[in-house]
Structure 1
């Protein structure tokens, strides 16, 4: 798999998210308390934008009328129909054995590491033919 630089960390304050496009794929990137997660932006139910969804907590209960909130900011709810996904694994809470959304590995790298590589920039051959500039894609 190839790695792509999408933005400086300063553009992702804790608790924020952003839609990025990598090789034509829309990916929702979330910063949860300094930890970064990437999820395919389309809900597997009917394609709702997960980047427009709400990050909440997991609600657990040991008895009727009692509940507690756990894993703050790690459960993503689709804005269209409320389907919930674990942003760590991509698994759904409605049917975790069968339904999930794609999860992408997101890392934070120092600028000095990026300069060393092994990253490859997209380049395109350019030639001049009879006074026309031609780019090969």
Structure 2
């Protein structure tokens, strides 16, 4: 069974920030990386350190001998105890992505004013034609249907465990 946990309004977790929460019995860090939200268990698999309290950084790659490039800036969390690095979005370790990882969780931003999350407002005509499309015929003596403008005032960051 998947549980839904509301974390905070999206505007309270700006890009580059994180929040630490307890979801049931699971400690979790929720990160905003350039407008995308990610949640990972706040436990380093090495020695159970509070991983999400570590520095958010990037990492280096070596495309050729003696050449180093900085990459993934703001997408890596470094364990505060022993420096092990993990990709925030996947939970995979930087040094051994196939063998070491920490658990991650699905996140979403719900609410807001975009077309996908805003409730549609229907006029009496739209309701009437919709009913006819569904095979229901209105007799004409039904009471008028009241419709109201609906607006979601804020977006909320949500984690599913």
**TM bucket, shorter chain:** 0.7 to 0.9
Matches within 5 A, 1:1-137: 1-110=2-111
> What TM-score results when the alignment is normalised by the length of structure 1?
0.76
The superposition leaves residues 42-100 of structure 1 with CA deviations (integer Å, 9 ceiling, x where unpaired) of 10111111121111113111223321112221111101001111112111123222211
Q: Which runs of 5+ in 2 are unaligned?
A: 120-161
Q: 3-state DSSP class of the match of 2:11?
A: helix
CA-CA distance at 1:22 after TM superposition: 1.2
Aligned partners of 1:77, 1:39: CA distance in 2, in Å? 13
> What TM-score results when the alignment is normalised by the length of structure 2?
0.65
Aligned CA RMSD, in angstroms, stands at 2.0
CA-CA distance at 1:9 after TM superposition: 0.8
Q: Which runs of 5+ in 1 are unaligned?
A: 116-137
Aligned partners of 1:5, 1:51: CA distance in 2, in Å? 19
